[in-house]
Structure 1
């Protein structure tokens, strides 16, 4: 059983998270869903989520549009992202973007956009003392965008640079995650990144943006959220202004479903001068937050390892015991901007879901040989061993389940930890709006109630029902020197003994070395391994 000390959280944060929740009301109230829910019913005229906070001095307005990158036209992948960026990074018919920034600076006000697969969210935040001065800017942004040529050239240039260069060079960890989605959803409208593809961004024109704004940012596919100490008069004004958006009824396609892997299918992305092997695995998961069973998987997921937390099984086995990398985590839904945020962000609700493991970069053979003379004969670094160890931990959990003690400790932590998701008004409002997408009233509160009445048997049954290790996708971003040896080792299920320096190995207990031997010979159901050049990804 893990040590209770590993669960201790900063007291100030926990106290803040557990204080009395503000009054929540709404104009439109969809029923709590017990079965799969159609998110389209949460959007449209009059769909408003209110979070009244009489003691707050800040006003938050969110406009969530049911569109996302999945509505991008074929051959113009990235158009929704371009449109959202021009709305929030371009000028309006009343002011240039420079004038807007100059006006907002003394107010410490801000706004921005986030585009995901199925929704685009515009968020506006201002101190209530400046609301009267700020609101005309909000009006202009959503109703009177300039869509100026100079703004378009700047935005599209930055977007092209991101899809061509930044995504491949800035973080191999994020690269592997986006590459997995490309593989998992290949051939569907979920495949490409919200920022688009290299060829798709090149094809986007300013006229495309104007048409996309008119057809997909409309009053018929928007959910409005508002938080703070606002007046009824302000809410009415906001409602009336949103009603002035285009009256087009957008044609929203069904979300692409994940492909079903046949065995363990691996894509190794090779690039020059990679410092390690970044691994991301995934398999389709047929349930989302709309299902009550999701709460049981939350416990199992937390047991394996929450994002960037040091108590999980995976972190303990790979990082703490063997010092292989910076961390190893488990996910039962997309985790947005994981490299930047330690707590999950709202605004990325999805109907197509998958279970995934993130193995942060482990060392390649070349770097190990440079550091340790005793490792001169190895041909593959730690990636094969790390993947086997992580998959074996899932296998063990499926076979053996959690013990009552492990369950109680994990559940206790999770019920406290979830409250930290909503420390700010912006996060509280965001999670409430996400709740509507899934047909729920309040996801945080409802999951807490489910957790309170849960049993260890329910968790173990859900794990057996939804998780397996025979069929999964794996993406590995690694150095070109490692790609082919790793491919051969995976295809042939070659034993992969852990490569320790002599000094480290001498200090390890016998039970760790015995487990190493079992891991090194653990059979993965590898059916296919392809090598892809980094330059050929996201085209």
Structure 2
């Protein structure tokens, strides 16, 4: 049987988001897709963990919005959303909180009634707060018995420093000190008109736009003071942490670089893809296929609002930790010293473009990409520009990027595992 030809579209047309600026300053973007009988409304608040003054207040605020309001109990909120088949989700990262609602078009008004209670009238009841904090403390205690969780936290600390907003790992017992007053204060300061954008995707007509506009237009203005600038990172290049009883070592290798707006960010995504971004990548072939050190390894570029970094992550058997580290370093050096073949680079280019097209298949995927673009100061025209840049990258450019940004002396290495690891390669 003959394999069908691989066809990569020469042009990608993505609907530009239409901006509606509300009287209170909220930027409301719409991505109309009338062929879908569903609407998703995503509120993006500048309310991530880097904004908090007290440990865990940012995540607690986001996760407790639906735990009771002035007009509805948590059970009533959940039952009402379930009755109409609507979907609610709250996510948080270092910089932003993402609060999303999705509903069938015919039930948008009823869903927005619940959204109003969640976004504008939350109570953060004391009993639910204490229950939430107790559960989260227990979960974090369990998570920190795992080498990969400790390595992830330690790697952030090694990159940024233990007191930097992007590097802090709060003590587990800090959940006991979370207060309703602190959560309410964080909500008042950050869930505000001047610190949000709203993206609607799906079937949105004049009535739906007016209803969402009334909801977003009711957000208060900020009660926060002037935000302090982030401190300079304090990087530690090598951190070996013992973990009693570990049968595996968690490895993180990488370095602090730049956020997505930097002209070399996309090229470094190609470098990361070559190293460990797909199942047949160089690190997967080496560590898994040839040596059997691990089930999986990944390399990626990570983007924050004010920083970005490159990272390789894996877990290997304790007895092969030193060998695995040596092989990771060797693959990075090979990429720096030997031009990648056109065949391998072509495969990676096609996979990256294909993944972008997969994400853009449907209004919700387009909305996710739109949000990411908006937070980076771009419009959706950047999508086709990025696809063009991926297609145009050459083996020489890949080698230049690897040489410029992945010198061995610049790398940060974190290993968490057996206290008897022995001598590890520098």
TM over 0.5: yes
Using the alignment, how far apart are the partners of 1:22 and 1:410 within structure 2?
22
- Please, which of 54, 57, 70 is the counterpart of residue 37 of structure 2? 57
CA contact (8 A) 1:70 1:255 kept: no
Return the offset for 1:255: 4.3
Distance 1:252-1:62 versus aligned 2 partners, 3 A rule: farther
CA contact (8 A) 1:185 1:256 kept: no
Does residue 489 (structure 1) correspond to residue 418 (structure 2)? The answer is no
The aligned counterpart of 1:190 is: 166
- Please, which of 135, 140, 143 is the counterpart of residue 167 of structure 1? 143
- Please, which of 469, 475, 489 is the counterpart of residue 408 of structure 2? 469
Return the offset for 1:182: 2.6
Return the offset for 1:123: 1.1
CA contact (8 A) 1:24 1:51 kept: yes
Distance 1:257-1:123 versus aligned 2 partners, 3 A rule: farther
- Please, which of 221, 241, 245 is the counterpart of residue 195 of structure 2? 221
Which runs of 5 or more structure 1 residues have no equivalent in the other structure? 30-43, 335-348, 365-380, 494-523, 525-539
Instruction: Classify the secondary structure of the residue corresponding to 1:81.
Output: helix
Using the alignment, how far apart are the partners of 1:124 and 1:19 within structure 2?
32
Distance 1:19-1:448 versus aligned 2 partners, 3 A rule: closer
Distance 1:94-1:269 versus aligned 2 partners, 3 A rule: farther
Instruction: Classify the secondary structure of the residue corresponding to 2:127.
Output: helix
Most deviating of 20-29 and 449-458: 20-29
Does residue 80 (structure 1) correspond to residue 58 (structure 2)? The answer is yes
Using the alignment, how far apart are the partners of 1:296 and 1:386 within structure 2?
26
Return the offset for 1:315: 0.2
CA contact (8 A) 1:49 1:433 kept: no
Using the alignment, how far apart are the partners of 1:450 and 1:437 within structure 2?
20
Distance 1:297-1:241 versus aligned 2 partners, 3 A rule: same
CA contact (8 A) 1:283 1:354 kept: yes
* Alignment deviations for residues 66-101 of structure 1 (CA, whole Å, 9 cap, x no partner): 13111111xx2111111111113x011111111121
* Alignment deviations for residues 290-344 of structure 1 (CA, whole Å, 9 cap, x no partner): 13322221221111121xx31100000010111111111211116xxxxxxxxxx
Q: TM-score, normalised by structure 2?
A: 0.90
Using the alignment, how far apart are the partners of 2:361 and 2:232 within structure 1?
33
Q: TM-score, normalised by structure 1?
A: 0.72
The aligned counterpart of 1:108 is: 85
The aligned counterpart of 2:309 is: 354
* Alignment deviations for residues 277-300 of structure 1 (CA, whole Å, 9 cap, x no partner): 121122111x22213322221221
Distance 1:140-1:18 versus aligned 2 partners, 3 A rule: farther
Instruction: Classify the secondary structure of the residue corresponding to 1:289.
Output: coil
Using the alignment, how far apart are the partners of 1:94 and 1:19 within structure 2?
49
CA contact (8 A) 2:40 2:202 kept: yes
Does residue 329 (structure 1) correspond to residue 307 (structure 2)? The answer is no
CA contact (8 A) 1:60 1:123 kept: yes
Does residue 459 (structure 1) correspond to residue 398 (structure 2)? The answer is yes
Return the offset for 1:199: 4.1
Does residue 26 (structure 1) correspond to residue 4 (structure 2)? The answer is no
Distance 1:259-1:26 versus aligned 2 partners, 3 A rule: farther
Distance 1:28-1:401 versus aligned 2 partners, 3 A rule: farther
Distance 1:440-1:418 versus aligned 2 partners, 3 A rule: same
Task: Give the alignment of 1:273-288 within 5 angstroms.
Answer: 274-285=246-257, 287-288=258-259
Does residue 207 (structure 1) correspond to residue 181 (structure 2)? The answer is yes
**Number of positions where the alignment pairs a residue of Structure 1 with one of Structure 2:** 418
The alignment's C-alpha RMSD in Å is 2.6
Using the alignment, how far apart are the partners of 1:299 and 1:173 within structure 2?
25
CA contact (8 A) 1:62 1:123 kept: yes
Does residue 363 (structure 1) correspond to residue 301 (structure 2)? The answer is no
- Please, which of 95, 98, 120 is the counterpart of residue 75 of structure 2? 98
CA contact (8 A) 1:190 1:256 kept: no
The aligned counterpart of 2:378 is: 440
Distance 1:404-1:23 versus aligned 2 partners, 3 A rule: closer
Using the alignment, how far apart are the partners of 2:322 and 2:149 within structure 1?
20
CA contact (8 A) 2:86 2:104 kept: yes
Using the alignment, how far apart are the partners of 2:197 and 2:41 within structure 1?
11
* Alignment deviations for residues 235-273 of structure 1 (CA, whole Å, 9 cap, x no partner): 233223223222125333434554334xx412324133x
Return the offset for 1:25: 2.3
Using the alignment, how far apart are the partners of 2:370 and 2:110 within structure 1?
27
Using the alignment, how far apart are the partners of 1:362 and 1:217 within structure 2?
42
Does residue 431 (structure 1) correspond to residue 404 (structure 2)? The answer is no
CA contact (8 A) 2:247 2:317 kept: yes
Task: Give the alignment of 1:120-135 within 5 angstroms.
Answer: 120-135=97-112
